[in-house]
Amino acid sequence: MGALDGRVACITGGTRGIGRATAEAFVREGAKVVINGRSEEKGAAALQEMGAGDSVHFIAGDVKKREDCEALIQGTVDKYGKIDILFANAGGASNHAPVAELTDEAMQDSLLWNFWHTFWCMRAALGHMIPQESGRIINMSSVEGKVGKPAISIYVAAKHAINGLTKSAAQEVGTLGITVNSVCPGAIETDIMAAEGPQAAEAMGMTYEGLLDVFAQESAIKRLNEVEDVAEVCVLLASDAGAGITGSMISIDGGSSPY
């Protein structure tokens, strides 16, 4: 018996990184999982690598677009008959700069990628979860959804906004058997970290290696976490055992953030 037997999950940005590790953990626990990404080719490769047969399905879509988010949730229901778990995981930010030098485009892109995508997917998923009076929503925030840092305000602001949306939605649907939480990892060496980290580090006046070391040193464990550390927390939040946890912003940062 798996902790998620019979459940249907949808994970935005699930072809690699934290989303992929979480998809694998959900399948291991008995769930059917829809993963998403922009590229059909990368989606097909991910499905092949996972080797989970009909337990995993890929739906292409760009989470920065509302119609793609809505089609992803509807596609999950069309494929597996319902949606029990949403992990709004995709996100990131590029073109970092101090607030005084920020472009509208950089801020808008980060809000679309992180905040609007989370809102669009949540709203669509709740449309199915509220009538069935059960559900689990897990939103991807970050340690930067809890603390301010210079030069990366586009990311800090978007992840804080996700935490606000999470807390309010949790209050709205708590009596309906639906939990809404966010996960707040510290730095993890994934593809997006390798792609966007160097520019973020430069904007913060340090090297990429220096940035990773700062993350490790400001934690209690003095090292970075791995994608599996986040995936296993998502399993708990998605399972029956997580029924009493809602409106929480769960830190998975080795003790870096103050709360």
Known active-site residue 208: no
Stretch that binds ligand NAD, among 62-70, 97-105, 123-131, 165-173 (CB under 6 A): 62-70
Q: Is residue 17 a contact residue for ligand NAD (CB under 6 A)?
A: yes
Considering the complex, state which of residue 6 and residue 233 has its C-beta at the smaller distance from ligand NAD.
Answer: 233
Q: How far is CA 186 from the centre of its chain?
A: 13
Residues 195-254 that bind ligand NAD (CB under 6 A): none
Q: Is residue 142 a contact residue for ligand NAD (CB under 6 A)?
A: yes
Stretch that binds ligand NAD, among 35-43, 98-106, 125-133, 166-174 (CB under 6 A): 35-43
CA distance 81 to 72: 13
Q: What angle do CA 256, 226, 168 make, to 5 degrees?
A: 60
Q: Is residue 92 a contact residue for ligand NAD (CB under 6 A)?
A: yes
Q: Which of 112, 116, 163 is nearest to 142 (CA)?
A: 163
CB count in 10 Å sphere of residue 175? 8
Q: Which of 56, 121, 170, 187 binds ligand NAD (CB under 6 A)?
A: 187
Secondary structure string (H, E, C) spanning 137-191: EEEECCHHHCCCCCCCHHHHHHHHHHHHHHHHHHHHHHHHCEEEEEEEECCCCCH
Q: Are 55 and 27 in contact (CB under 8 A)?
A: yes
Q: Is residue 192 a contact residue for ligand NAD (CB under 6 A)?
A: yes
Q: How far is the CB of 205 from ligand NAD (least distance, A)?
A: 19
How, if at all, do strands 85-88 and 56-60 pair? unpaired
Q: Is residue 79 a contact residue for ligand NAD (CB under 6 A)?
A: no
Applying CB under 6 A, what is the total number of residues that bind ligand NAD? Answer: 27
CA distance 92 to 121: 16
Q: Which of 38, 82, 123, 167 binds ligand NAD (CB under 6 A)?
A: 38
Q: Is residue 89 a contact residue for ligand NAD (CB under 6 A)?
A: yes
Considering the complex, state which of residue 18 and residue 107 has its C-beta at the smaller distance from ligand NAD.
Answer: 18
Active site residues per annotation: 155
